Structure 1
Amino acid sequence: MARDRIHLRRRAGALAATAATLALTCATAAAAGPSGRIASLPKGHDVSSHQRNVDWPAARSGGARFVYVKATESTGYQNPYFHQQYDGARDAGLIRGAYHFALPDRSSGARQAKYFVAHGGDWQPDGWTLPPALDIEYNPYSAKHPCYRLGWKRMKSWIWSFSDEMVRETGRRPVIYTTAHWWKQCTGDSHAFASRHPLWIARHGSSGPGRLPGGWQSWTFWQYATAGRLPGDQNLFNGSSSGLRTFAADW
């Protein structure tokens, strides 16, 4: 997901040249985006503090119709650019939503949901505000513990705790952003969430979202690349433009 990255130094000489070539190839593929029928779906992106002050009119002119903006992480981080990004997107005519980056080893799901609500998206059924989103994926702070030291049962309980608190606070269950591999590894490919939570699937560099996790029969959003024509990560909505507006208003 779009967030602050640690930029590692690259080797010089031939390795640097090879890396540059590969980066150019990947960027070109990402810019091209999906092909065929799926390419006609409403386009969007997601951003964080990594993108700083986004030129929202330019994003709108570039094809963006929706965006998710990182608001919070755990209970100790707020995106310092959140209001510029969230309000700026709305002012430019984009449907926008806010997402929370989960760190399940830091505090309970309910506590993180409350923190998200306190610093998040002012949710209301106005046709311009997407439901809250939970970004739950690999642990960015420990490659050795991708599931945050939680077993399947505890991870599922954590997600339910977050989801139940979001319902109490906003009236709507969150969209769940994840990958099929993480979901299988860290929840046992649980089917318990599919019927009540829209899916935001992350699968990059492919012609389609691939196998969906945990009993989901369809995806709502697909993050298909980490770079492209729009600032941040590149996404599609699985429906029409009017369907996107309905999704933002269907509370």
Structure 2
Amino acid sequence: MPVHRSGSVRPRHLFLAGLLLAALSLVLAVPATAADTPARGSAHMGMGVAAHDGTGALPSSADATQTEGVDVSSHQGNVAWSTLWSSGVKWAYTKATEGTYYTNPYFAQQYNGSYNVGMIRGAYHFATPDTTSGATQANYFVDHGGGWSRDGKTLPGALDIEWNPYGAACYGKSASAMVSWIADFLNTYKARTGRDAVIYTATSWWTDCTGNYGGFAANNPLWIARYASSVGTLPAGWGYYTMWQYTSSGPTVGDHNRFNGALDRVVALANG
């Protein structure tokens, strides 16, 4: 008759249970951020604003000294420009490029479509300072829709510099290195087009990632992002904003903006 050893099964069960717990702990330890990271090229103006700065009440109705505008990217697809024009939108910016690896497949419909209904339009570049130099990205931008012409309907290109949607907020750069990267982009853009680019940013990002550098304010118009009833504190150096992205949930397309001046001032910026 075989002898039953009561203690021989329990250690084996305990061992198997331990293996399962160890495997489970490894699965749980894998960060979720990889799955949450958006695909390269999908970035757009203001995608980090609500998450980092929050949202508040919309500003009151614009007066005659402000001019409504929108910004669009591939997220909007083919845009109903005539609807926007009829609603009072008079200017628009279209995402042209990101880094040196992406061009907006809807760029022609968006950039030319806004122009064709009578809007003053411009192009913007989503900066990725951790991939290539500022000069390289400025050249890529100009070569893929970001140029400028003195036709009275084309705004200078805009540099969208904000939170990194793909990794570290400041792209792994120190404040001084970030300032150098931005300067490299701006200098190259001006050399290629003759125009000073617009800088799109948020005050909190600018403070954290450039050390609140004020040296670009004399030449580069400020496009501030803040989803609230007022623009709040501006980055160092700028005493006023030129454009303000005030919401990502506006009518027809999400991102709505106000130009800090009447339509003739928008024309003036287009003409340089």
The interval holding the TM-score normalised by the smaller chain is 0.7 to 0.9
1:193-204 matched pairs, under 5 angstroms: 193-204=216-227
Corresponding residue to 1:41 among 66, 72, 78: 66
Report the CA distance between 1:221 and its aligned residue.
0.3
Give the conservation status (yes or no) of the 8 Å contact 1:184–1:213. yes
Residue 129 (structure 1) aligned with residue 154 (structure 2) = yes
Structure 1 pair 36–57 and aligned structure 2 pair: CA distance change class (3 A): closer
- 1:106-126 superposed Cα distances (whole Å, 9 cap, x missing partner): 000000000000001341121
Please point out which of 168, 181, 204 is paired with 1:181.
204
Shift of 1:223: 0.2
Counterpart amino acid of residue 86 in structure 2: S
The alpha-carbon deviation at position 36 of structure 1 amounts to: 5.3
**Residue number among 130, 151, 174 corresponding to 1:105 in the alignment:** 130
Partner AA of 1:165 in structure 2: T
Q: Which structure would you say has the larger Rg?
A: 2
1:213 maps to what in 2? 235
What letter corresponds to residue 229 of structure 1 in structure 2? P
Does structure 2 conserve the Cα–Cα contact (< 8 Å) formed by 1:62 and 1:230? Answer: no
Q: Deviations over 1:157-193 (max 9, x none)?
A: 0000000000111001110000000000000000111
Structure 1 residue 232 displacement after superposition: 3.1
Whether the 8 Å contact between 1:75 and 1:115 is mirrored in structure 2 is yes
1:85 aligns with 2:116: no
- Aligned partners of 1:193 and 1:214 also within 8 Å: no
What TM-score do you get using the length of structure 2 for normalisation? 0.78
User: Does the aligned pair in 1 maintain the 2:96–2:145 contact within 8 Å?
Assistant: yes
| Alpha-carbon shift at residue 214 of structure 1 (Å) | 1.8
RMSD: 1.9
Unaligned runs of 5+ in 1: 6-25
Contact 2:248 2:254 (8 Å CA) reproduced: yes
Give the TM-score normalised by structure 1: 0.84
**Structure 1 residue ranges (4+ consecutive) displaced by more than 6 angstroms after TM superposition:** none
Shift of 1:215: 1.3
Q: Deviations over 1:5-54 (max 9, x none)?
A: 7xxxxxxxxxxxxxxxxxxxx99x87xx4215658611011000000001
Paired residue total: 222
